């Protein structure tokens, strides 16, 4: 019997509703609505347009009427949150994680409230300035009046679930991004909450990913003229949805890259690894579906290419993304490389100009045209992946021969082939729409239509055409990698 679910994904710049249908053998996706999701800057603060987002979510539900989905789940970016008063009313516009309010908050917490070493020892989460804990610190340091009014904190997917179902719960995948979860207990750390003196707003209660919260509120179902459907607390963090869709074999040591505006490079483990090496290299132990630990590193990804694209569009250079990728293949290899996590990229504007500054500062030649810049981005990302792989092998004591590349990066054979060349690994590319596939299979497990995550991954393997890239010119890439490390050291 055919089963149908609605997956709603909210990314940094877009959102979409996707219908997923399965007959038990294969699963198919159909995008039914896509909408702009860009943040809004008001008086120097960058906000998410949250009420418009909720309206778009309702449009997704209405557009799904002909398909009669049995459930829906929502996934979003990590870290950001909504604050509610004691009546469940939003007390302010949720702020975007790229807003500058968290500047200096990492050092402030380290000096005044809890050493970063202890914070990492408890959470095992990569210290990044936009994590929820530092956003809350910014509110407290600035004596924001919202904290006097707010009673509860809900992460963005949880807030939308609350509006749809009336239930206020969070799941471990999105809660982990706060850097306030104890990695051992998978619960809120009392030590951290006490250290930052967070009495209010209190974080939502944690329920397992794949919990059915309940039906769509009757008044909403009536106003949208839709049949009842269940609201599922899925993997609220979009990264964990994408990881759930990695089409790996059962019991395989998974090495994956979830590639989008940001890239997450990592592996899947039964338990967290928190030690001197993971702290030194700043790796995150995040909770995945089914209680798995995903040991990963977050790094800037295709946002570098996306920014270049928009800058060049404004200059009248009307290339498509695929045009740029093809142009990259035709340019000189290793003409210029860079550290993709260079701190100057945090400014968020005119990446081509910032790259030119980096290349000049490090004594490299300027790449040829737009294709040269894209090649530099893809080569440098591949080198960053190799560096992460070496760190991970040192941490786990394992040797990895295969990498699964999922997400938007699958569209670019340059990135996939360069990753194979740089790492010496076989790269299996696909699916592109990993987040939607993962969102869907979590719902199907929640509703009892799939036995477990392994069954969901088998379903994806049966349904998606995967592309395999074998390493090429390995000696040449080994030599270039040594040069890359010298360049990165020079650029610090």
- Could you list the active site residues? 238
Q: Report d(CA 275, CA 284) in Å as an integer.
A: 11
What is the full DSSP assignment across 8-72?
EEE-SSEEEEEEEEE-SS-EEEEEEEEEE---EEETTEEE--HHHHHHHHHHHHHHTGGG--SEE
Q: Report d(CA 440, CA 100) in Å as an integer.
A: 34
* Residue from 220, 212, 122, 217 nearest 169 by CA: 212
Q: Quick one: angle between helices 105-112 and 116-123, nearest 10?
A: 100
DSSP state of 296: E
CA dihedral 278, 477, 302, 258 (to 10 degrees): -50
Query: Partners of 71 in the beta sheet?
Result: 5, 230
Q: Report d(CA 296, CA 274) in Å as an integer.
A: 12
Q: Confirm if 71 and 122 have CB atoms less than 8 A apart.
A: no
Other Cβ atoms within 10 Å of 287 Cβ, number: 26
Token pair 């030690």 is found at: 275
Q: Confirm if 90 and 156 have CB atoms less than 8 A apart.
A: no
- For the sheet containing 3-10, what is the strand order? 27-36, 14-22, 3-10, 71-75, 230-233, 211-215
Token pair 């194979």 is found at: 420
Structure tokens at 289: 């579906």
Measure CA of the first residue to CA of the last residue in the chain; give whole Å.
58
Vertex 427: Cα angle to 394 and 238 (nearest 5) = 80
DSSP state of 93: P
């Amino acid at each position: 019997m055919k089963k149908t679910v609605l997956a709603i994904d909210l990314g940094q710049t877009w959102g979409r509703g996707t219908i997923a249908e399965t007959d038990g053998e294969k699963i198919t996706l159909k995008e039914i609505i896509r909408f702009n999701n860009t943040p809004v800057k008001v008086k120097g603060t960058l906000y998410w347009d949250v009420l418009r987002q909720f309206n778009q979510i309702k449009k997704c539900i209405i557009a799904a009427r002909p398909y009669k989905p049995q459930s829906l789940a929502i996934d979003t970016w990590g870290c950001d949150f909504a604050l509610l008063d004691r009546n469940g009313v939003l007390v302010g516009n949720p702020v975007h994680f790229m807003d500058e309010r968290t500047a200096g908050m990492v050092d402030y917490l380290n000096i005044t409230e809890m050493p970063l070493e202890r914070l990492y020892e408890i959470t095992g989460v990569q210290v990044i300035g936009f994590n929820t804990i530092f956003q809350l610190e910014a509110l407290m340091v600035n004596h924001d009046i919202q904290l006097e009014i707010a009673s509860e904190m809900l992460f963005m997917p949880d807030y939308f679930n609350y509006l749809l179902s009336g239930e206020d719960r969070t799941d471990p995948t999105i809660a982990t991004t706060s850097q306030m979860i104890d990695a051992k207990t998978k619960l809120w750390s009392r030590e951290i909450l006490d250290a930052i003196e967070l009495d209010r707003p209190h974080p939502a209660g944690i329920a397992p990913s794949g919990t059915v919260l309940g039906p769509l509120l009757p008044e909403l179902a009536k106003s949208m003229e839709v049949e009842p459907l269940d609201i599922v607390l899925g993997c609220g963090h979009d990264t964990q949805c994408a990881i759930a869709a990695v089409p790996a074999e059962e019991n395989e040591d998974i090495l994956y890259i979830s590639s989008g505006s940001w890239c997450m490079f990592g592996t899947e483990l039964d338990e967290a690894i928190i030690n001197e090496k993971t702290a030194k290299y700043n790796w995150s132990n995040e909770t995945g579906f089914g209680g798995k630990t995903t040991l990963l590193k977050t790094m800037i990804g295709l946002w570098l290419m996306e920014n270049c694209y928009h800058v060049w569009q404004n200059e009248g250079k009307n290339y498509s993304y695929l045009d740029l990728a093809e142009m990259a293949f035709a340019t000189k290899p290793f003409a210029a490389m860079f550290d993709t996590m260079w701190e100057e990229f945090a400014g968020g504007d005119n990446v081509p100009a910032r790259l030119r500054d980096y290349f000049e500062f490090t004594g490299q030649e300027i790449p040829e045209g737009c294709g040269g810049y894209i090649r530099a981005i893809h080569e440098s990302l591949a080198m960053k992946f190799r560096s992460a792989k070496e760190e991970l092998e040192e941490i786990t004591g394992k040797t990895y021969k295969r990498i699964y590349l999922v997400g938007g990066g699958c569209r670019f054979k340059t990135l996939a082939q360069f990753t194979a060349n740089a790492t010496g690994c076989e790269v299996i590319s696909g699916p592109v729409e990993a987040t939607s596939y993962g969102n869907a299979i979590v719902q199907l497990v929640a509703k009892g239509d799939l036995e477990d995550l392994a069954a969901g991954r088998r379903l994806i393997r049966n349904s998606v055409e995967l592309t395999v890239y074998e390493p090429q010119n390995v000696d040449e890439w080994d030599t270039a990698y040594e040069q890359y490390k010298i360049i990165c050291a020079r650029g610090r």
